[in-house]
Structure 1
Amino acid sequence: MTPAVPLALLGLVDAAFSGFRAYAGRDARIRKHRATARAALRGLIVGAVLLLAPALTAALLLLSASDQSRTYDALASGGLGYLLPLTVYATAVLLSLAVYFLLPFRASTLAMVVGLGPLTLLRPVAIAAACLGALLNGGGGPALLLGAVAGAAVLCVEPAVHRRWYRQVL
């Protein structure tokens, strides 16, 4: 099985959360479900467009390779190595979200401060660990390049959404 599908889904979910984070804290209304859904959708759309970059990179790597089978195997191995650290990170985020939504107010606030806040700041570290995993799992240079392009794409979603829709004009 190719790790491209789970990685793409993970990237799209991360993009939706990035859209939400770009919007979060900008609206003092109590009922803002529609606005948060719109922000998540914006993140998802921007993320889908930006995730075309690693897809095109993979296609170019495969088309320009002298041995496409070997390059495909290297990219698949690198993708599995890339997926492992991101799975650990996503599990930690999901556990924090479960605590946030299921426990009473004080515990959910603690989950936000102790879990989700620092985990958001650790996103670039998780991407760097994923790139290292792609390299160490036998992906070599092509997988590292593809991982770096994919990591840059997902890290650019939140700033792009913020700049396009939520930048304050003074």
Structure 2
Amino acid sequence: MTPAAPLALLGLIDAAFSGFRAYAGSDARIRKHRANARAALRGLTTGAALLLLPALTAAVLLLTASDTSRTYEALAAGGVGYLLPLAASFFLPFRASTLAMVIGLGPLTLLRPVAIAAACIGALINGGGWPALLVGTIAGAAVLCVEPAVHRRWYRLERVQVEVDTVCTGA
């Protein structure tokens, strides 16, 4: 089994949450279900575009490899190793899985690079070698770039406008 589909799904789910986090706090309205859904969709589309980079990297590695089957096996083993630390939240006991969810989605999102680094180390240790480490690093960078990209593209101006309005009205 290739771990590409679960990894892509995990990356897209994370991208949707990143879009929501980029929007969170920029709107003081009470009813903002549509805005939340729009923010998640923006994160999802941005993440889908950015996740094409590791897919293209893997494709180039496979097309240029002298032994395609060996490179494929290395990428698959690395993908499994990459997936294990990230999917731990689904298989850990309740308290540990809750902590893993808070790290990924809540106020501990600053630890997401640590989780990505652990996944890259897992890809390397599991037998993926440098091809899996390269693809994993590019995938990790892509996932970590979704939230800043969404924030910069759609929500930075809203916060600047709110700050300008607040300064001008003295509120």
When the two structures are superposed, what TM-score results if normalisation uses the length of structure 1?
0.85
1:15·1:154 contact (CA, 8 Å) conserved in 2?
yes
Mark the structure with the bigger radius of gyration: 2
Q: Does 1:138 align with 2:127?
A: yes
Q: Secondary structure at the match of 2:20?
A: helix
Identity %: 75
Give structure 1 stretches of 5+ with no counterpart: 98-110
For residue 122 of structure 1, report the CA deviation from its aligned partner.
1.2
Alignment of 1:5-44 (within 5 A): 5-44=5-44
* CA positional deviation for 1:96: 3.9
Pairing 1:151–2:106 present = no
CA drift of 1:8 comes to 0.1
- Structure 2 stretches of 5 or more lacking a match? 165-171
Report what 2:57 is aligned to: 57
User: 1:67 corresponds to which residue?
Assistant: 67
Q: CA deviation at 1:79?
A: 0.2
Q: Does the 8 A contact of 1:96 with 1:116 survive in 2?
A: no
RMSD between aligned residues: 2.4
Moved >2 Å (runs of 4+) = 89-97
- Does residue 1:117 correspond to 2:93, yes or no? no
Does the residue aligned with 1:66 lie in a helix, a strand or coil? Answer: coil
Give the match for residue 104 of structure 1. none
How many correspondences in the alignment? 155
TM normalised by structure 2 equals 0.84
User: Is 1:128 equivalent to 2:128 in the alignment?
Assistant: no
Q: Contact 1:85–1:129 at 8 Å: present in 2 too? A: yes
Q: Read off the aligned partner of 1:144 and give its amino acid letter.
A: L
Relative distance call for 1:34 and 1:9 in structure 2 (3 A) is: same
Alpha-carbon contact 1:83-1:130 (below 8 Å) kept? yes
